[in-house]
Amino acid sequence: MTTPPTSSTREPELSRQLLDDALAPRHLPKRPSALGNSLVFGRRALLKLRHVPEHLIDVTVLPAILTLSVTYLFGGAIAGSPRQYVQFLLPGILVQTMLFATYQSGSTLNDDLSRGVYDRFRSMPVWTPAPLVGTLLGDQVRYGLDAVVVLGLGLSIGFRPDGGPLGVVAGVLLAMLFASGVSWVFTYLGLVLRSPAAVMNAGFTVMFPLTLASNVLVPPSTMPDWLQTIVDHNPITRAVTAVRGLMYGDVTFEQIAWVLGATLVITLLFLPLVVRRLRALT
């Protein structure tokens, strides 16, 4: 008659089974791709907007205030009527408000660094630039919302671009691309300045004079010769000229090429600085 196994004889067998299971080869989940990592961080950027909607003020309330106030305060004096002035103004306001929205890239990164959130990202097995690329992807949604607000208000008060829907879409995409390049400047400032407020203040201090000394509000031909020279060499002037040309159907290849080249140069200058600074923080 066979003696049933006791608990003392079953324990070694159970231990060996557990050890074999632990050492058995397993199929680990596939590591996410760089694109997958970036999309996850892009979704994080959008979730932050949902939970902190105050971050949308610069792409909703500010564009609305600028579009309406400038049109109705200065339209009669500059162009004879607000309806006539908005034909000239709106492409410039579109570029200006998108550039104002670029401050948020550096401010968000600075906030993540100060609270230790970015240190957690660096400890995770993800593509290293994914948090930055994800933020850039999230910014495109913010820029798109800015465009919807500006164009929606503009059309409601008389803006009628000759370039049609395709020209408007092309102008918006060019403005978004230019703003994305400029955002790397403020991303770098977010790494070197001490607080999110400092990034915002520095951005406004630099960007407001640049947009003012451009063709956003008035034609450069109304300015003194020395000021025209400054305005003509302002990158924002070139961007606004190209966006206006796309929306009105009279853009030239050189105008578009200049904006694309400037965006590439800004990116190539500041992206390596951002990467180097991030490595120095590790």
Q: Is residue 66 part of a domain?
A: yes
**Does a structural domain hold residue 241?**
yes
Cα separation of 103 and 174, whole Å? 19
Note the pLDDT of residue 92.
95
Q: What pLDDT score was predicted for residue 36? A: 81
Residue 10 within any structural domain of the chain:
no
Closest among 133, 114, 134 to 197, alpha carbons compared: 114
DSSP annotation string for 184-210: HHHHHHHHHSSSHHHHHHHHHHHHHHH
pLDDT at 19: 59
> Can you give the pTM of this predicted structure?
0.85
> Are 100 and 111 a contacting pair, CB within 8 Å?
no
Residue 20 lies in a domain: no
For the chain, what is the domain count? Answer: 1
Instruction: Identify the pLDDT of residue 159.
Output: 94
Of these ranges, 117-126, 189-198, 241-250, the one predicted with the greatest mean pLDDT is 241-250
pLDDT at residue 33, rounded to an integer: 78
Confidence of residue 42 (pLDDT cuts 50, 70, 90): confident
pLDDT reported for residue 115 = 84
Determine the pLDDT at residue 2.
Answer: 53
How far is residue 179's CA from residue 202's CA, in Å, rounded to a whole number?
A: 17
From residue 108, how far is each of 3, 186, 187, 214, 270 by CA, in Å? 71, 10, 9, 28, 17
Of the candidates 251, 220, 253, the one whose C-alpha atom is nearest the C-alpha of residue 236 is: 220
Q: Count CB-CB contacts under 10 A for residue 218.
A: 17
If pLDDT is split at 50, 70 and 90, which confidence band does 3 have?
A: low
* CA–CA gap between residue 177 and residue 185 (Å, rounded): 14
* Rounded Cα–Cα distance for residues 61 and 206 (Å): 21
- In the chain, DSSP finds a helix count (H) and a strand count (E) of 12, 0
- Mean pLDDT of all residues in the chain? 87
The whole-angstrom separation of Cα 138 and Cα 125 is 21
Quick check: is 170 in a domain? yes
pLDDT at 130 over 60: yes
- Pair of tokens at residue 212: 């003012």
**Whole-angstrom distance, CA of residue 134 vs CA of residue 130:** 6
For the segment 5-30, the average pLDDT, to the nearest whole number, is 60
Q: Which of 22-31, 55-64, 85-94 has the lowest mean pLDDT?
A: 22-31
Q: pLDDT (tens digit, 9 = 90+) per residue, 255-270?
A: 999 999 999 999 999 9
Is a pLDDT exceeding 70 seen at residue 29? no
Confidence check: pLDDT of 64 > 90: yes
Element containing residue 172 per DSSP (H, E): helix 164-192
Look at 276 and 54; give whichever has higher pLDDT. Answer: 276
The answer to whether residue 31 is domain-embedded is no
Residue 211: which domain range? 37-281
Exposure string over 242-254, b if 16+ CB within 10 A, otherwise e: bbbbbbbeebeee
Q: Which residue has the higher pLDDT, 85 or 281?
A: 85
90 Cβ neighbours under 8 A, 6+ residues apart: 67, 150, 151, 154, 159
| In a domain? residue 201 | yes
Is residue 242 a part of any domain in this protein?
yes
